[in-house]
Homo-oligomer: A and B are copies of this chain.
């Protein structure tokens, strides 16, 4: 789930988990855990990709895409993920919002190469 990378998602419909969060000060093990979660979610059946970014103010948005509600539920029940969410509430985040949405349509744009 590196920054500056777009998720290659299939034609809709599919599902999006929109996670917006304000980080607290300091790392406190966050970077390592985030990398581990990125590895784990990529192994999750039905995971389609994710897009993630955070500004210098610590406000970040991650959108993870899944092919079904079942895939989202399985990921939510993953034990390491549940433990990470607990750390998120206790240490890493001062506030977050989670929204689960069904993607109905999508389009993209790529600028032409300029010689």
Chain A residues with a Cβ under 8 A of chain B: 3-7, 9, 12, 16, 18, 20, 22, 24, 51-61, 63, 88-89, 93-111
| Centre residue among A3, A63, A99, A109 by max chain B CB count within 10 A | A99
Q: What B residues does A53 contact at CB under 8 A? A: 53-55, 59-61
- Copies of this chain, complex-wide, total 2
Is there an interface contact between B63 and A18, defined as CB atoms closer than 8 Å?
yes
Q: What B residues does A103 contact at CB under 8 A? A: 18, 99-101
Is there an interface contact between A3 and B55, defined as CB atoms closer than 8 Å?
yes
Distance from A49 Cβ to chain B, minimum over Cβ atoms (Å): 10
Measured CA separation A56–B60 after assembly (Å): 12
